[in-house]
Amino acid sequence: MKPIVMAGGSGSRLWPMSRKALPKQFLKLAGDETMLQATLSRLEGVEGLAKPILVCNEDHRFLAAEQLRQAGVAHDGILLEPFGRNTAPAIALAALHAMKDGEDPTLLVLAADHLIQNVPAFHAAIAKAAKLAEHGKLLTFGIVPTEPHTGYGYIQTGAEVGAGIVEGALQVAEFVEKPNLETAKRYVDSGSYLWNSGMFAFTASAYLAALKEYAPAILQACEASIATETPDLDFVRIDADAFGSCPDDSIDYAVMEPLAAKAESPVAVVPLDAGWSDVGSWSSLWEVSEKDAQGNATTGDVMMVGSHDSYVNAEGKLVTVIGLDDVVVVETKDAVMVAAKDKVQQVKDVVNALKAQDRPEYVFHREVFRPWGCYDSIDNGERHQVKRITVKPGEKLSVQMHHHRAEHWIVVSGTAKVTNGDNTFLVTENESTYIPIGVVHALENPGKIPLEMIEVQSGSYLGEDDIVRFEDRYNRA
């Protein structure tokens, strides 16, 4: 069985923590691991697992690679989508990549941003799905409902299947769209409906055969785009032009729903009661978080006075909440979001407004991660910007120049190898150097510890797009 982890998506409903450049699957929202790392670590102990394939978009490739490296996860490639085309094409690319050596593995399709608290129950469900997939079934995992929820699609179940193979798996009678509250109550009361988790198991060939029957245009575009796949560091690149013609469709619409409607359908569901959440909003994170006696879930330096049933996440400052119930407060280095807990779905309206105004808070945090390390914009004005830069040992920024800004570099700790025009030299702690406008330069950490430095930029334009790269070890444009 080969895990396929889909790590796309923007997670906009968890702004200001989740942003376009650093979405929720790469954040530590419910523990010491990021959601991507937790998705992979909870597979430990499952028998017969091959190395996973990760599918993510181009912009997040270095984040994904670094987090897999930190977690010590060996993988079978990070497939890069040039642009999002939904889940059906993403899984098709992974299936085709998994079959490149003539194999036909069972695929365990997972989202990188789910939370599952009961890992043994999850493993038991995987084992059932694996056995049924070997017998030609296409499995989905249906979550046993805990309440009449209107934010999830539902699966209507039928008769038990897999007699003599496994117990407890059920035929899928129908996939149902997200219902209104009254309909959701009826579904839950009937005992015949499960939440649609978006997790699946099937052989690669069974999925591709279903695509050929119900969504041939998706299969053709994916086959054409991956026919010339090329390795690039940890990544697998596909033909962007060929992928551009691929229809945008989910696996549910493209394959599972029409296949479930077929007579003697091979689509089945394994019920899963394992403390699952897709962490789709701040209120859902409050639901699965550990709470104090007043029902408050807090992270960071938080002080609650006379407040109940609230969620407060403080990234860098002391946050106090006095006399408020059922609220969500999230503080980051550059934004604060306060909402009534039952109105958190409207966070997406804020995100849309930020996007429309082209504000950087839609895309970036104050701290921005790069393949060589990160930088934190600690101060800025009309003609200046100050950054705290961290370069990992052995890493190097691109050889570049700027048309509109000069830079002063002050080393706080570690050693910098600096190229400044025709000169290359070392700058150590408490030393500095100056890069004039228009001079080709580069920065490298030749040491064994992180290089920490302060960069003071000055000039008429300080945008990140004022970078002309001449050489880059990470193959960035």
- Over the stretch 200-216, which tens digit does the pLDDT of each residue have? 999 999 999 999 999 99
Task: Quote the tokens at residue 341.
Answer: 């807990």
Tell how strand 441-444 and strand 416-420 pair up. antiparallel
Amino acid residing at 269: V
461 in a structural domain: yes
- End residue of a domain, out of 308, 329, 352: 352
Could you check whether the bond before residue 266 is cis, i.e. omega within 30 degrees of 0?
no
- Which residue's entry shows tokens 């109105």? 343
Say if residue 204 is in the same domain as residue 56: yes
Nearest to 283 by CA among 355, 363, 347, 333: 347
234 in a structural domain: yes
359 in a structural domain: no
Say if residue 298 is in the same domain as residue 385: no
Say if residue 417 is in the same domain as residue 389: yes
The separation between the first and the last C-alpha atoms of the chain, rounded to the nearest angstrom, is 36
Residue 49 is predicted with a pLDDT of 94
Residue 122 is predicted with a pLDDT of 98
120 in a structural domain: yes
**CATH code where residue 83 lies:** 3.90.550.10
Nearest to 17 by CA among 263, 311, 251: 311
**Rounded to 10 degrees, what is the CA torsion of 348, 351, 353, 356?**
-120
Say if residue 79 is in the same domain as residue 161: yes
Say if residue 183 is in the same domain as residue 216: yes
SS3 content of the chain, % helix, strand, coil (to 5): 25, 35, 40
- Provide the residue range defining the domain that includes 43: 2-277
Say if residue 297 is in the same domain as residue 246: no
Instruction: Please state the pTM of the whole predicted model.
Output: 0.92
15 in a structural domain: yes
Say if residue 325 is in the same domain as residue 177: no
Residue 139 is predicted with a pLDDT of 97
Say if residue 392 is in the same domain as residue 298: no
Secondary structure letter of residue 360 according to DSSP: G
| Interval 123-143: pLDDT, tens | 999 999 999 999 999 999 999
Say if residue 36 is in the same domain as residue 118: yes
218 in a structural domain: yes
- End residue of a domain, out of 257, 277, 297: 277
Q: How far apart are CA 433 and CA 450, in angstroms?
A: 19
Q: How far apart are CA 93 and CA 79, in angstroms?
A: 8
Could you check whether the bond before residue 89 is cis, i.e. omega within 30 degrees of 0?
no
Say if residue 268 is in the same domain as residue 299: no
Say if residue 193 is in the same domain as residue 328: no
Residue 383 is predicted with a pLDDT of 96
Residue 476 is predicted with a pLDDT of 86
Helix (H, G, I), strand (E, B) or coil at 165: coil
Say if residue 172 is in the same domain as residue 120: yes
406 in a structural domain: yes
Number of domains in the chain: 3
- End residue of a domain, out of 327, 352, 377: 352
31 in a structural domain: yes
Query: What are the residue ranges in the chain where pLDDT is below 70?
Result: none
**CATH code where residue 396 lies:** 2.60.120.10
